[in-house]
Structure 1
Amino acid sequence: MNDSNESQKLTCAVEENTYEAEEYEMVIHQPCIQYFMKLNTLGWAGQLLHNTLMRLTDHSDNGDALWFQVGEELGRFSIYEFGLITRMKCVGSTHLPPMAKPILIRRYFPTVRGVSRENLELQMSNAKFDNDEDVIKLSLLYIIFCIPLSNANSVKIDPKFFALADNLDEFNEFLWGVLSWEATRAAICATVDDRTSSKRRPLKKSRQVHYSIAGFPHALLVWAYESIPTMAAKFTTNYEQAIPRMLSWITADNVKFDEVMWAFTAVGENQII
């Protein structure tokens, strides 16, 4: 598990790109990403996330929700909690009809076979755009696929999202929350399945665990703070009620393994909210 604060780094990366002041203000205030651009106090507690993940119960028969065993209690993490934490739109269809090769791809990636986040990042760093609107459109795509729909740099982005970005109103109204939840849930389940099966394999010399989770796993961290009081007491430095709820928490990075284990052990009966 990577212990770097991905949200903070991504936010800073966007701020450091070459924007005119007016362009930058237009980007960070777009409805679909505005809250993520304020997400700079939520530390990336990799040990806490890992230990929460390893408490996932059998998820195959529990429908859409994920259930975590903490002490004698079961805690639910579903698209409902995900929506409350992120304030993303999480109800409705995400279907987009097939489209011709999008203008943005033809204009900026004419020779690229499948545009990845890495390609987007390179284009952003080059800062060569035909017009100001394209700066905003490509910036939004970059941020969406860095934070709520995070994945490996090399993963290709479906061209239909480039077509969607041509209409900023439709792009902002799109149900990114549904896709983010689906990606997060699938990544959590796949990670737990992989880690569970790896326990039965012969141990390698290195006992360190390194893996990443696609989607927006930070939401599960917030859920842990909100659902397990011992977690909030131990690992948060401040709480200020905010909307969305992911902006309420001020937390630390580099949480220690022993502290996490103590916090889970200290959970008594009826302490899962």
Structure 2
Amino acid sequence: MASCFRPLLTVSRPMKFSGGVIHQLLLWEVHHNRPSDEMRFILGTHEVRFSKVEFCLITGLWFRVVPDMSRYVIMDNGQHHRYFGGKGEISSVELRDVLRCGEFQQAYDSVMLCLIYMLNWILMGLDEGVKIPVWQLLLVDDLDAFDAFLWGAHMYSHSIYSFKHAFDGQRE
């Protein structure tokens, strides 16, 4: 007998992000005494959790302890110096201007800068007003280190913080 139900993985239309769904989920958060780096929600009659395990299953990103980024030393004439004068954090506008200009001093500079752009505004979904931390610009100078970095742990920490503080400033 043929089933009238299709498996979820064969959905024929693309899924789209819905901020409204995330907002509604956050409204049903359960405050608990469990680990502070996980969240629990009420969905119908079930209590569900969002922890490192679920994050890894959803994203497929590696997860271990985030390494100490203070040990990275500024490379002489690295990305940070060549395109941004070695100043502190940079804005998305500054990075976008360099990418749009299309004039790169060394091979792979465009790739390295695109990695930073994709990391912040595609993978992490940051608002364009958020500044790019200097450690990312230093890390991208070493593509092997950038590739080996545990982005899952970094993004999970950022996500949990963002979710837990989503309503800060709205509770006046």
User: Normalising TM by the smaller chain, what interval?
Assistant: 0.7 to 0.9
Higher relative contact order (CA 8 A, sep 6+): 1
Instruction: Give the C-alpha shift of residue 45 in structure 1.
Output: 1.6
What displacement does 1:160 show?
A: 1.7
Displaced runs of 4 or more, over 3 A: 192-195
Provide the residue aligned with 2:6 in structure 1: none
Q: Distance in 1 between matches of 2:87 and 2:143?
A: 24
Cα distance in 1 for residues equivalent to 2:105 and 2:156? 34
- Counterpart pick for 1:100 among 61, 74, 81: 74
Q: Which runs of 5+ in 1 are unaligned?
A: 1-40, 199-273
* Structure 1 residues 230-254: Cα deviation after superposition (integer angstroms, max 9, x where no partner): xxxxxxxxxxxxxxxxxxxxxxxxx
Opposite residue 123 of structure 2, the aligned amino acid is P
Aligned-CA RMSD value: 2.0
Residue 121 of structure 1: how far off its partner (Å)? 1.4
1: CA distance, partners of 2:68 / 2:45: 40
Aligned-pair distance for 1:175?
Answer: 0.6
Matched, 1:87 2:60: yes
Q: 5 Å matches for 1:2-17?
A: none
Count of equivalent residues? 156
The residue type equivalent to 1:158 in the other structure is: P
2:99 matches 1:117: no
Q: State the one-letter code of the partner of 1:189.
A: K
Q: What is the correspondence of 1:20-99 to structure 2 with a 5 Å cutoff?
A: 41-58=14-31, 61-63=33-35, 64-96=37-69, 97-99=71-73
d(CA) in 1 for partners of 2:57, 2:150: 14
Among all aligned residue pairs of Structure 1 and Structure 2, give the percentage whose two residues are the same amino acid. Answer: 25
Residues in 2 aligned to 1:192 and 1:57: alpha-carbon distance in whole angstroms = 14
Cα pair 2:66 2:154 within 8 Å, conserved: no
Query: CA distance change for structure 1 residues 161 and 134 in 2, over 3 Å: closer, same or farther?
Result: same
Q: TM-score, normalised by structure 2?
A: 0.81
In structure 2, C-alpha distance between the alignment counterparts of 1:189 and 1:81, rounded to whole Å: 17
Query: Compared with structure 1, are the counterparts of its residues 151 and 101 closer, same or farther at alpha carbon in structure 2 (3 Å cutoff)?
Result: farther
Alignment-mate amino acid for residue 62 of structure 1: R
**Aligned-partner Cα distance in 2 for 1:174–1:138:** 16
Unaligned runs of 5+ in 2: 1-13
Deviation, 1:131, is: 2.5
Change (3 A) 1:93 1:44: closer
